[in-house]
Chain A
Amino acid sequence: MHRRKLWLFAGVVLAALALAATGSARVSGPDSAKAKSAGTLVFGAEQGGGPDWCLNLILDVDCNAFWNVVFQTPVIRGAFLFTPNFKYKPDLISHYKFQTHPQRVTYYIRKNAKWSDGVPVTGKDFKFTWQTATNPKYKDHIDPLQWQVIRSVKGSGKVVTVTYKQNYAGWQDSFSYVLPQHALAGTDMLTVWNDCICNPKKGNAPIGDGPFLLTKFDRGSGITLTRNPHAWYGKRAKLDSIVFRFITNTNSEIQAIRSGEVDAIYPQPQLALADLRSQAGLRVVSHVGLQFEHIEIQQGPKGNPLAKQLWVRKALIESINRASAAKALYGTLNPSVTPLQSIVRLKGEAGYTNQFGQYNYSPAKVDAAMKAHNCSKGSDGIFTCNGTKMAFDFASTTGNALRTLAFTIFQDQAAKAGIQLRNAFVPAGTLFGSKLPGHDFDLAMFTYLVTVNPHYNVTSFSCGNASNYTEYCNRNVTKWLAQSDRELNPKKRTALVVRAGKQIAADAAVIPLYQRPTYLVYKTSVHGMVDNATSQGPSFNAESWSKG
């Protein structure tokens, strides 16, 4: 009897295995082949769905990650979109009128802009968004900068006027998403859109004013966008649906696109991506984006005291070959990646000028500078100046192969110039959590992800700002940057930022390295996909995507 049971059990297991084998033989061809007939595109997403992942973009402290913007741009629209050429383009609005003294912006909301339940998008929605953002209840969850400078939002129809308390140059960043007042008024914003973009007053029915609606969020698996069944103000979406599938391991993501399990991916730069270029049926598009790698030089009391001297900082820059590092790291992935020569404006942006080109790799120049300052070379080939060794702890984040490779290259080059770089890599949490805010480093290499708005320079380079990790302080730079934040003429604003940038370069305050390239990989059967290397991401034109 027992034996019979054992055989029965073994039989069931074998049957299950046989079933799997039969199934696998039958279900041949790519996952996307199944998707094709349904007009569904599967997009591998590197982030999303973690335990603390939330969908409410207005809670930018909690929820505003890059991939959230990618998921939701096709669902919740804003006044402007960032275009791939780093410019603002009116989106939810047809046009705007700009006045100064006081600064006042009149938005003309598209006449055919409406929510998926038929309610028109109006000034009430703009006002509600602003009131929500400035509600003290949410003060720890929303970046106040762009909202607190607004004095009033008026207009309940298709024309809405926003008046500012003071000049605010980054006004186009405001209302990058507009919330549906009729659906969300009176709800708790901290929880209402944790798991859906929906109307809680109508049984959590999906809501949106874009080409798609967020119809499914499987935490841990993926997000499904389904074509908005009602007309929106743009072109009707070509796809029935888009599934963003969470594949947070980059290697798995690469295997998934190679094996046709997903139609597109947008991964972080990895050397393994180079192989994808040669695979038939795949297209790899790469641009330099708005993320830049740089090295901060600590000039405060906790850093190497030598770095307080300008000539030492200049020697540091000239001791590393940024061009060769860029080539070694990104040469096979994107040969157009070259050293970044400005820290305040990036390549592709108005005002980008060559400010750091004056510092070329030159061990001979470093050697001459050292000798001119009576530094002596030790038996290990490293200079010592006034009793202090030219040795710097080089901090960065562990677990990033490209950064480790960059450090190895820089360490070798600097050693040849008589400067020692010591590996001080730490986990990201330690670097951003204690090392940088505590100014506890000599050199630190990390990435800034910035927007088209150059405001980030104010926080990074103004004297005494908490985010100025280097403790670099030049009163003129602080003044020009502060002025740039209030200058409403874009050309004049750019000129102020560039002026500050020139001074920062002259002071050798930081070392810009290179803009990190973006990689959009998709099947050749996918059409209409465009890389948008800004913080907007590739889904800005999701309605134009198609397959076949």
Chain B
Amino acid sequence: MLTYIIRRFLYSIPVLVATSFLIFTFVSLTGDPLGRLRANPNITAEQIHSIEHDKNLDKPVIIRYGYWVRDAVTKKFGTTLFGNRPIWPDLKRVIGHTLQFILSAIIISLILGILIGVYSALRQYSLFDYTATTLSFIGFATPVFWLALMLQVLMVQIYLKWNIRIFYTSGLSSSVGAGHGIHFLIDRVQHLALPVIALCALSTATYSRFMRASMLEVLNSDYVRTARAKGLIERRVIMRHAFRNALIPLITVVALDFGGLFAGAIVTETIFTLDGMGYYFVNSLFASDPYPVMAWLMVVATMVILFNLIADILYGVFDPRIRYE
């Protein structure tokens, strides 16, 4: 197992290097970080040339990539193009926010997905199963941005009609009176609820379908039949023999999902103005500043690779038929 993990780590290094180079090239070639300065009639051409020179923007992409790698390794991703702000403290902050958001969404989706999936499998072709299937397809088909906007509108209408605030429509905390301890927690939950619901719609649909299919497969397997033939009570058969084995494919899906979601649910975070990874990425992109964009991408790429590895390892841990040599 250890050899496998080390080998996977070694494989990921060239992947990271290639990814970073490609992304750096694309980001550098597609935007002009000095565009907003050029649009300002008060900033002289000499100043712009001077900035280009100082920031190495007049050099070929490959050389600029070299400078970036140096800063990324020795200076924790270096500083932003304008303002000379260190990038890492900002990234640390938004990673924390995104983790709160996606962990909540994944945990809730998992609980709902598993419950719905298992019950649908146990009551296959029942009214519940048909309803769950229909709802899950609606969940798949609903664009997240639309759902997010509708949730915002719903909360506004509730507020206007009854003057009650259930959840907030934007931000992570109240600007005033967020409080401390339990009050802060409640305030945070009220802010995160809508984005979490928006994200849960798709994830719950996915997990419930996976769980249902996996559960059905396991319920029809020989060892479950054997367990029943041995006279075990049905609850024991389902919980001990079927359910645990049916979870294995879902673990993989969740691990891969987590890596992907770590990039920040860009649309959701933007609509709800959540100071997370996705929002950070969009802000950096609009500023045409390649350095924070690169830092973001490297963190995301690392997390995706890491969680792919974790998914593989978990598969080996939970499924005794799989052994990594």
- Physical interaction between A and B: yes
- Among the 9-residue stretches B32-40, B122-130, B217-225, B248-256, the one with 4 or more Cβ atoms under 8 Å from chain A is B32-40
**Interface set, chain B 148-195, CB cutoff 8 A to A:** 149, 152-153, 155-156, 159-160, 163-177, 182, 185-187, 189-190, 193
**A54, B163: Cβ atoms closer than 8 Å:** no
Looking at A19, A430, A432, the one whose CB has the most chain B CB atoms below 10 A away is A432
A142 nearest CB neighbor, chain B only: B47
Q: By the criterion CB–CB under 8 Å, are A220 and B280 in contact?
A: yes
Contact present for A251 and B190 (CB under 8 Å): no
Among candidates A3, A28, A145, A222, residue contacting B165 with C-beta atoms closer than 8 Å:
A28
Cβ-defined contact, A139 with B50, below 8 A: yes
Q: Say whether A210 faces chain B, with CB atoms less than 8 Å apart.
A: no
0/1 interface trace, chain A 18-42, chain B, CB 8 Å (1 if under): 0110111101111110110010101
The stretch that binds A, out of B62-70, B270-278, B308-316, is: B270-278
In addition to A27-B165, A52-B292, A249-B270, 15 A-B residue pairs with Cβ atoms within 8 Å of each other are: A20-B186, A24-B164, A24-B167, A28-B165, A49-B275, A50-B287, A51-B283, A52-B81, A54-B82, A61-B82, A145-B44, A219-B90, A221-B171, A259-B160, A430-B35
Which chain B residues border A40 with CB–CB below 8 Å? 175-176
Verify if B258 is at the interface (C-beta below 8 Å from A): no
Q: How many residues of B contact A (CB 8 A)?
A: 76
What interface size band does chain A fall in? 35 or more
Interface assignment of A247: CB less than 8 Å from any CB of chain B: yes
B42, A34: Cβ atoms closer than 8 Å: no
- A144 adjacent to B44 (CB under 8 Å): yes
Are B34 and A433 neighbours in the complex by a CB distance under 8 Å?
A: yes
What are the 4 closest A-B residue pairs judged by CB atoms, nearest first? A433-B32, A23-B186, A220-B275, A433-B35
Give Cα A23 to B286, complex, Å: 37
Q: Are A34 and B177 in contact (CB under 8 A)?
A: yes
Q: Give the residue name and chain of the A residue nearest to B36 (CB).
A: A432
Contacts of B34 in A (CB 8 A): 433
Contact: A52 with B156, CB < 8 Å? no
- Complex alpha-carbon distance, A47 and B107, angstroms: 33
Question: Does B8 have its Cβ within 8 Å of any Cβ on chain A?
Answer: no
A52 contacts B54, C-beta separation under 8 Å: no
On whether the beta carbons of B177 and A52 are closer than 8 Å, the reply is no
A25 cross-chain contacts in B, Cβ below 8 A: 164, 166
What would 26 A/B residue contacts be, using CB atoms closer than 8 Å?
Answer: A10-B111, A20-B186, A23-B187, A24-B164, A24-B190, A34-B177, A40-B176, A49-B275, A52-B85, A53-B83, A139-B47, A144-B47, A220-B93, A220-B275, A221-B275, A243-B176, A248-B270, A249-B273, A251-B271, A253-B170, A255-B156, A255-B170, A259-B160, A428-B35, A429-B30, A433-B38
Asked if A23 meets B189 with Cβ closer than 8 Å, knowing A144-B44, A249-B271, the reply is: yes
A480 to B84, CA, bound (A): 41
- Fill in one digit per residue for A123-164: 1 if any B CB lies within 8 Å of its CB, else 0: 000000000000000011001110000000000000000000
Residue of A nearest to B104 (CB): A16
Most buried by B among A23, A259, A428: A259
- CA distance in complex: A30, B190 (Å): 13
Residues in B whose Cβ lies below 8 Å from that of A256:
169-170
B41–A460 touching, CB < 8 Å: yes
Q: Indicate if B203 sits at the interface (CB-CB under 8 A).
A: no
A403 CA to B164 CA in the complex, in Å? Answer: 38
- Give bound CA distance, A40 to B173, whole Å: 16
Q: Which of B37, B163, B165, B193 counts the most chain A CB atoms within 10 A?
A: B165
- Taking CB atoms and an 8 Å cut-off, the chain A residues in 38-72 that contact chain B are 38, 40, 42, 49-54, 59-63
| A21 nearest CB neighbor, chain B only | B166
Closest to A427 in B: B31
A61 and B51 contact, CB distance less than 8 A:
yes
Q: Using known A-B contacts A52-B83, A221-B171, A433-B32, determine if residue A252 contacts B152 with beta carbons closer than 8 Å.
A: yes
**Bound complex: CA of A156 vs CA of B271, how far in Å?**
51
Residues of B within 8 A of A251 (CB): 149, 152, 271
Counting CB contacts under 8 A, is A261 at the interface?
A: yes
Is the CB of A489 closer than 8 A to any CB of chain B? no
CA of A35 to CA of B81 in the docked complex: distance in angstroms?
37
Q: Which residue of B lies closest to A44 (CB)?
A: B170
Tell me if A143 and B42 are in contact (CB < 8 A).
yes
A460-492 CB contact bits vs B (8 Å, 1 = yes)? 100000110000000000000000000000000
Interface string of A182-202 (1 = CB under 8 A from B): 000000001100100000000
Q: In the complex, which residues of chain A have a beta carbon less than 8 angstroms from the beta carbon of B32?
A: 429-430, 432-434
Q: Which of B50, B176, B272 contacts A252 (CB 8 A)?
A: B272
| Neighbouring A residues of B51 by C-beta, 8 Å | 61, 140
A417: min CB distance to chain B, Å: 30
CB-nearest residue of chain B to A14: B111
Residue of B nearest to A218 (CB): B275
Q: How far is the CA of A436 from the CA of B284 in the complex (A)?
A: 23
Task: Tell me, in angstroms, the Cα distance from A255 to B108 when the chains sit together.
Answer: 26
A23 to B36, CA, bound (A): 44
Verify if A260 is at the interface (C-beta below 8 Å from B).
yes
Complex alpha-carbon distance, A25 and B43, angstroms: 53
A35 touches B175 (CB 8 A): yes
* A28 contacts across to B, CB distance below 8 A: 163-165
Please report the C-alpha to C-alpha distance between residue A248 and residue B286 in the assembled complex, in whole angstroms: 11
CB of A181 to closest CB in B, whole Å: 23
CA distance A446 to B38 in the complex (A): 13
Option from A52, A245, A434 in Cβ contact (under 8 Å) with B289:
A52
Q: Whose C-beta in chain A lies nearest to the C-beta of B90?
A: A51
For the complex, what is the distance from the CA of A139 to the CA of B94, rounded to whole Å?
33
> Distance in Å from the Cβ of A148 to the closest Cβ of chain B?
11
* In the complex, A385 has a CB within 8 A of chain B: no
Closest to A458 in B: B41
B279 proximal to A (CB < 8 A): yes
A451's closest neighbor in chain B, by CB? B42
Q: Which residue of A lies closest to B178 (CB)?
A: A34
Whether B10 is near chain A, meaning CB under 8 Å from some CB there, is: no
Q: Does A456 sit within 8 A of B, measured CB to CB?
A: yes
The one of B39, B93, B163, B187 in contact with A219, judged by C-beta atoms closer than 8 angstroms, is B93
The residue of chain A having its C-beta at the shortest distance from the C-beta of B169 within the complex is A255
A54-B83 CB under 8 A given contacts A258-B160, A428-B35: yes
**Docked CA distance A50–B156 (Å):** 27
Cross-chain contact B155 with A259 (CB below 8 angstroms): yes
- Does A437 touch B at the CB level, under 8 Å? yes
Q: What's the Cα separation between A243 and B177 when bound, in Å?
A: 12
Q: Give bound CA distance, A220 to B169, whole Å.
A: 16
Does A8 reach chain B (CB closer than 8 Å)? no
Known: A247-B273, A261-B169. A220 touches B94 (CB 8 A): yes
Given A31-B174, A143-B42, verify A51-B160 contact (CB < 8 Å): no
Say if the beta carbon of A401 comes within 8 Å of chain B.
Answer: no
A156–B52 Cα gap in the complex (Å)? 38
Is B200 engaged at the interface, CB distance under 8 Å to the other chain?
A: no
For the complex, is B87 an interface residue (Cβ under 8 Å from A)? yes
Query: B80 within 8 Å of A by Cβ?
Result: yes
Tell me if A248 and B189 are in contact (CB < 8 A): no
> Any chain B CB within 8 A of the CB of A246?
yes
Residue B204 is within 8 A (CB to CB) of chain A in the complex: no
A49 to B149, CA, bound (A): 23
Shortest CB–CB separation between residue A343 and chain B, in angstroms?
A: 13
How distant is B320 from chain A, measured CB to nearest CB, in Å?
18
Residue B120 is within 8 A (CB to CB) of chain A in the complex: no
Closest to B83 in A: A54
